[in-house]
Structure 1
C-alpha cells in the first residue's frame, strides 16, 4: 500500500492542493485614482493582517484623502484572498443618526426594506445576531465623535472573533475614544507628489503659456500645503490663468491666509477658489447650497429652479431660458471642485467645502447674506425665534420638528427650508410677519395635512413646494400669492380639493407640477361640492383653469383617459411646455400609441401608472 502511494506521488503534480480563500462579500465602490496613497494602503493592510489589531483609526485634515483611502481598502477586499465573510461600508457624518447607520449595515447583510421600521434597539439586536457569527469588516467613513458600537449592534472586534473595524475621522481624539489599537495619520502629499497633482490640474497649455509661470505655479502649489483638495481646487481655478499678473495675485492672496490651524489653514485656501468665481451670482449660488444638510444629494433641477425664484438667475425672465444659466453655474462649480457630481441628476458639497461656505457667511458675508443653518441637526423643536429673526436665509430641513407654534417677526427672511421634518401643525400666526419670504419649502412632511390660513400673508412668495406632503385641501387663502412662479404639488396623494379659480389666479406661474391623486381617496371624500373643486379626478376642470397661465414654462400633470389627453393636446401652451406626463388608470384599450405625443416638444418623462390593461 505504501509503495502504491509513493508511486502516485511520484507521478502527480501537487504544487496546489486546495483553492485560494475566496474574496469577502463586498460592494466595490467607485473611486478616483489614488494620489500617493500606496504606502498608506499597505500600512493599513498590514494592520488588517495583524491578529492583535481589531480597530484601526485613519485620521487627518478634511480633504486629505481619507475617504479615497478607505474606498481603496474596501475595494481591495474584493481582489485580495481573505477569510472575511462580509465587508460593510457606512457613511456616518456629523450629527450622525444611529438608525441610518443601522439601515446601511442592514442593507449590506441582507435585511429587507421593511426591517428599517424597527426600533434602534431591535435593529441592534438583529445586527449583533448576524455579525457575531461572522468574521466581518466594518468601514465607517467620516466620524466626528465616538460611535457607540453596542448601540449600533456591531460586536467589538477582538482576537477571538478576528473581525475588523476601520474608520476615518478628522480628529486624533476620536481614534482614542473609539479604542483604536492602531492610529494612522493620513498625511498631506510630499512636495514632489503635490506638484505632480497641481501640474495635472492646471494643464500643460497654461504652464507653458509663459516661461515664468512654472516657477510661480510652484509657489502656489507650495501654499496648498500638500492638501489634495486644495491642490485640485486651486489648480483647476488657475487652469485658464495665462498672465504673470494673475499668478502673482494668486500668490499674494494665498500668503495673506498663512494661519496655523485647520480652520485657518484650509478654509482660506478654499476661499481663494470662492473669490476666484467670476461674479457675485455664482458666489451666491454656491453659498445657497450650504442650506442643505451635510452629504446631502441636491437635485440639480430643483436647485436651479430655487435659484430662479430667488432672483439669482437674473439674466433671463423665463425658467426655460434661465435653466441654461443655472446649468452653466452648476457646471462651473463642478469644474472648480466646489461641488461634486453624484450621479446624473444630483450634486453634493464636500463637507470641507460646506464648512468653508458657512465660515465665509459667518466671517465675510454677515451684512449681505446672513444665514441660519441647522439642516440635519436632529432638532425636535423649532429654534428660538431670536436666533433667526434677522436672517435672510434659513434652513432647518431634515430634522424632527413636529410643531411650529411661534409668531416670528422676520422682516429680512427670503428663504425658508422646512422640508423633511415631521411637521404636523403650523400655527396660524407663523407666517404673519415674514413679508418678504420668496421661497418656502415644506416638502416631504408626511404628517402635514393642513396649511394655516395665515399663509395668505406671504404676498411676496414666488416658490411654494408642497410635494410629498399629506395636505388634503389647498386653502382658498392661497389666492393672495399672486407672485408665485413655482408651485409643486407632486406626490400629494391625499390632495382632494383645489378650489375653483385658485390656480388661474397664479398668472405669473412658470413651473407647475401636480401628481396623481388616488381615486379611492376621492371616493372617500365626497364632502366637497363638485362645482367648487377642480380636483375631481380627471383634471379636466383643472386644465381649463390652466389655459390662462400664459407664463407657464414647465408642466407636469397626470392624465386619466384618452378624451382628456386629446383635450390636453389640443391646447398649444400645454404642447409647448409639458416636460412630464403621467398616464394614470387608462383602461380604454390594450395598446397606447406613443406617436400621439409627438407634438409635445419638451417632453422628457412619460409614466404609466395603474394601466393594467395596457
Structure 2
C-alpha cells in the first residue's frame, strides 16, 4: 500500500509539472500580441531614457569630462537590444497572422513558440535596461593627455646629467629632485628631455604636469595650469571658486593619482600644499622635479636630491658652437677656426651663450669680426663681479652685434612685457611705429613690413622665440629679458632709462613724483589710483595695462609732454579718462581696449599727433563727441568693435547706429587700418562707397 501510495503521489506531481510547462509555453503564443504591444511601449520608454542620458553625456563632454564606463556599457547594450527589439516588432504582424483559435494555437506551433519566447525575453531585457538607466552621474573629470611632448633644443653635453636624474627617478625613496644652475645652462632643456622620455616610459604615472613658474611667482597661475591639466578648469563652476576651494579640488583629484609634476624656472619656494598638491613621497609614488637658478630654493622646496646642471665641457661646448656657426664659416679663413675656439673659451660652456653668439657669428667670414668678438667678450666679464652679470655681458654681445640701432631699440622694448608673456606681433609693430623706431616709412602698412623684418632678425639671433601655441606671438627667454633690462636700466650711459616693475601688489602708485625713466612698465601692478602730478619730461612710454586702475587725476599727465605710447588696456575698473589727458601733445598711441570707460572726453581733440586708437571691447563706451574722431588728422589705426550704438543722443557719434561715425572716419586721409562694426545698410554702403575706408578695413563686424 505504501508503494502504491508513493507511485500515486509521484505521478500526480509529474502531471502537475508537465501541465505547468505546457501552460507556460502556451503563454508565449497566447500572449504574443500583448507582449508585442508591451515591447513596443517599453522600447519607446527606453529610447527616451537613452536620449536623456546622451544629452547629459554630450553636455559633460563639451566640458571635457569623460563618460563613466558603466554609462558607456549601458548605452552599448541599449543599442544592441534596440536593434533586436525592432526586428521582433517588425516581424510581429506576420507571426500574429499564423495564430488561430483566439491566438492560443498556431498554424506553425514551433515557429510561433520560438518567436513568442524571444519576444518575452526581449521584453524582460528592455525593462531591466530601462530600470538600470537611472544614473546619478554620467561623467567624471578627465585627466588631460598623460604627457604633452614638448619641442626641445640641442641636448649636447646633457647626456650624463640626464642619466643621473633618470636613475634617481627610478628610486622609490626619491620623491623630489631639484635641478639648479646658471641661467641659460640647459636646465629647461634637461627638464624637457625628462618630460618627453615619460611619453614613452610612463612607469605607472596617471598624469604628467608641466608648469612654468617664472620670476613673477604667481601661484594662482600655477594652480590654474594644474587645474587645467587634471580637467578641473573646464567646469564652469571652477572660475567662481576661491583659491582655497580650487586647492581642495586639486587635492581631491591628485591624492587619488600617481602624478609626475615638472616645475620650470622656480625662483622661490612654491607651497605645494597651499596650491593643492600632495607632497610626493614613497607612499604615494608621485614625483616632483623642478629647475631653479638658486641652490637655496632646492632646500626651501625640500628636495630629496639636488643636482647641479654644470656648464658644458670644452669638447661639448665646441661641438655645440660649431653646429650653430656652421662649417662654411669656420673654413672661410685659415685663422677663423682658432679664433672661434677662443670665443668658445670666453663663453665658459654656457649653452645659451654658445647658441646665441654662435648664431650671431654665423657667416662672419673675416678675422677682424672674430678678433673684435674676442676683445669684447674678454673685457666685459672682468668688469662685473657676479656670475649673472657675466652671463648678461656674454649675451650683450649678441645685442651689440645687431646691425642697426633700430633693432636694438626694438629688442629692449620687448623687456617692458612680463616674463613668459606672449607678446602679440602686430601690437609690437604698431607700438614700434608710434615710438618712431620704424622710421623708414611714413605709413603703418610699410612700417609693419619693416617691423616683421626686425622680428625675424631677432628670432634668427635667438633673442626672441616663437610661441608654441600661437604663430601671432613672440616671447623672450627669461635670461635674455634679464640681459636687456640690465642693458636698459644699469649698463653704461643708459642708466635709469627703463623702469619696469611687474605685478607689484601696491594700492597706490609709488614714488609718483620721481618718475624719471624714458620707458616705464607697471603691468599687472595693483594700482587703484594715480593722483599725483609727476614731472616726467623724458617719459615716452607708459604701460599701465592690467593694473586694476580706477582713478587717474586730472593733473597726472600734466608734465608728460613727450609721452608717445600710453597703454591703459584691460583696466576693467577704469570708467573715465581725466580731462588732463589733453596735455599729452606728443601722444601717438592710445590703447584703451577692454576698459570700462563710458565716454571719450572732448579734450582728446588736442592730441593732434595721434596715430593709433584702440577701443576694442569697450563695452561700456556709449558716447564719442561729434567731430572728435575727425580731429585726429594723423590717425592711421582705428579699432572699435563691438560698438554700443544708442538710439538717441545729442553731440554723439555713436547715435543713429553709428552712421555719423562712418562719416567722420571718411575725413581721416591717413587711415590705413580699420576695425569697425556696422549695423545698418546705410552705414555699410557709406563705408563701401569710400575708397580709403574700403581699402583699409582689416576687421569688419556686421550686426543687425
TM-score by length of 1: 0.87
Match of 2:286 among 163, 170, 173: 163
- Is 1:308 the counterpart of 2:429 in the alignment? no
- Alpha carbons of structure 1 residues 305 and 143: separation in structure 2 relative to 1, 3 Å: same
Query: Matches of 1:387 and 1:107 in 2, distance apart?
Result: 42
- Is 1:508 the counterpart of 2:631 in the alignment? no
* Residues 514-565 of structure 1: per-residue CA shift (max 9 Å, x gap): 111256xx4xxx6xx5241111363221110011100111111112244432
- Is 1:175 the counterpart of 2:325 in the alignment? no
Query: Matches of 2:204 and 2:558 in 1, distance apart?
Result: 64
- Alpha carbons of structure 1 residues 518 and 501: separation in structure 2 relative to 1, 3 Å: closer
* Residues 428-460 of structure 1: per-residue CA shift (max 9 Å, x gap): 221122111111000111111111111111111
**RMSD over aligned Cα, in angstroms?**
1.9
- Paired position in structure 2 for 1:245: 368
Match of 2:698, SS state, is: strand
- Paired position in structure 1 for 2:381: 258
Paired residues of 1:98 and 1:120 also in contact (CA < 8 A): no
Paired residues of 1:103 and 1:116 also in contact (CA < 8 A): no
Query: Matches of 1:124 and 1:581 in 2, distance apart?
Result: 43
Query: Matches of 1:338 and 1:308 in 2, distance apart?
Result: 20
- Paired position in structure 1 for 2:273: 150
Paired residues of 1:499 and 1:532 also in contact (CA < 8 A): yes
The offset of 1:193, in angstroms, is 1.6
Match of 2:657, SS state, is: coil
- Paired position in structure 1 for 2:509: 382
- Is 1:360 the counterpart of 2:479 in the alignment? no
**Structure exhibiting the larger radius of gyration computed from Cα positions:** 2
Which piece of structure 1 moves more, 41-50 or 216-225? 41-50
Q: After the TM superposition, which parts of structure 1 deviate over 4 Å for at least 4 consecutive aligned residues?
A: 365-369
Paired residues of 2:214 and 2:265 also in contact (CA < 8 A): yes
Paired residues of 2:260 and 2:288 also in contact (CA < 8 A): yes
Paired residues of 2:431 and 2:589 also in contact (CA < 8 A): yes
Match of 2:502, SS state, is: coil
- Is 1:272 the counterpart of 2:391 in the alignment? no
The offset of 1:308, in angstroms, is 0.8
- Paired position in structure 2 for 1:288: 413
Paired residues of 1:494 and 1:517 also in contact (CA < 8 A): no
- Paired position in structure 1 for 2:665: 546
- Alpha carbons of structure 1 residues 153 and 537: separation in structure 2 relative to 1, 3 Å: farther
Match of 1:50 among 171, 176, 183: 171
- Paired position in structure 1 for 2:697: 578
- Paired position in structure 2 for 1:31: 152
Paired residues of 2:438 and 2:451 also in contact (CA < 8 A): yes
- Is 1:319 the counterpart of 2:444 in the alignment? yes
- Is 1:568 the counterpart of 2:692 in the alignment? no
Q: Which has the higher helix share?
A: 2
Query: Matches of 1:159 and 1:194 in 2, distance apart?
Result: 38
- Is 1:206 the counterpart of 2:206 in the alignment? no
- Paired position in structure 1 for 2:40: none
- Paired position in structure 1 for 2:182: 61
Paired residues of 1:188 and 1:225 also in contact (CA < 8 A): yes
Unaligned runs of 5+ in 2: 1-143
- Paired position in structure 1 for 2:64: none
- Paired position in structure 2 for 1:345: 472
Which piece of structure 1 moves more, 289-298 or 70-79? 70-79
- Alpha carbons of structure 1 residues 192 and 424: separation in structure 2 relative to 1, 3 Å: same
Query: Matches of 1:326 and 1:209 in 2, distance apart?
Result: 32
* Residues 201-224 of structure 1: per-residue CA shift (max 9 Å, x gap): 111221121121111111111211
Which piece of structure 1 moves more, 146-155 or 358-367? 358-367
Match of 1:333, SS state, is: helix
The count of corresponding residues between Structure 1 and Structure 2 is 556
Query: Matches of 2:257 and 2:452 in 1, distance apart?
Result: 48
The offset of 1:24, in angstroms, is 7.9
Unaligned runs of 5+ in 1: 1-22, 586-614
- Paired position in structure 2 for 1:456: 582
Query: Matches of 1:58 and 1:76 in 2, distance apart?
Result: 17
- Paired position in structure 2 for 1:593: none
Match of 1:74 among 191, 195, 198: 195
Paired residues of 2:514 and 2:535 also in contact (CA < 8 A): no
Query: Matches of 1:134 and 1:325 in 2, distance apart?
Result: 51
Match of 1:564, SS state, is: helix
Query: Matches of 2:567 and 2:255 in 1, distance apart?
Result: 44
Query: Matches of 1:366 and 1:120 in 2, distance apart?
Result: 45
Query: Matches of 1:49 and 1:295 in 2, distance apart?
Result: 31
Query: Matches of 1:449 and 1:92 in 2, distance apart?
Result: 33
The offset of 1:41, in angstroms, is 2.1
